[in-house]
Amino acid sequence: MTEKKSLKKKTLLKAYADIEFLNSSDARILRILSEFIHPQSRFRRLKIMDTIVFFGSARLMSRRDANKVYNKFKTINPKSTSKLAEELRGAQHLVKMSKYYEDAVELSKRLTEWSMGLKTQANRFIICTGGGPGIMEAANKGAKLAGGYSVGLNISIPFEQFVNKYVTPDLSFEFHYFFMRKFWFAYLAKALIVFPGGFGTMDEFFELITLIQTGKIKKNLLLVVYDKKYWSNIINFKGLVEHGVISSSDLNLFSFCNTVDQAFNIITAHFKKNYLNIKGKENSVPSIDLK
CATH number of the CATH domain containing 138: 3.40.50.450
Q: Domain range for residue 55?
A: 36-61+101-274
Answer yes or no: is 13 within a domain.
no
Answer yes or no: is 258 within a domain.
yes
Answer yes or no: is 220 within a domain.
yes
Answer yes or no: is 167 within a domain.
yes
Answer yes or no: is 87 within a domain.
no
CA torsion 208-209-213-218 (nearest 10°) is 40
Q: Please measure the distance between the N-terminal and C-terminal CA atoms of the chain and give it in whole angstroms.
A: 57
Whether 166 and 28 have beta carbons less than 8 Å apart is answered as no
Q: pLDDT tens across 103-152, in order? A: 999 999 999 999 999 988 899 999 999 999 999 999 999 999 999 999 99
Answer yes or no: is 68 within a domain.
no
Burial of 85 (0-12, 13-18, 19+ CB in 10 A): middle
Answer yes or no: is 27 within a domain.
no
Answer yes or no: is 95 within a domain.
no
Number of domains in the chain: 1
What pLDDT is stored for residue 291 in this prediction? 42
More confident residue, 67 or 74: 67
Q: Where is average pLDDT lowest: 40-44, 45-49, 68-72?
A: 68-72
Closest CA to 129 of 102, 155, 151: 151
Whether 59 and 97 have beta carbons less than 8 Å apart is answered as no
Rounded alpha-carbon distances, angstroms, from residue 15 to 9, 22, 27, 118: 19, 8, 10, 46
Q: pLDDT tens across 159-215, in order? A: 656 789 999 999 999 999 999 999 999 999 999 999 999 999 999 999 999 999 999
Q: What is the mean pLDDT of the chain?
A: 89
d(CA 158, CA 275): 39
Question: Looking at the whole model, is its pTM more than 0.75?
Answer: yes
Contacts of residue 198, Cβ cutoff 8 Å, sequence gap at least 6: 57, 59
Whether the pLDDT of residue 288 is over 80: the answer is no
- In this prediction, residue 282 has a pLDDT band, given cuts at 50, 70 and 90, of very low
- Which helix (H) or strand (E) covers residue 239, if one does? helix 237-242
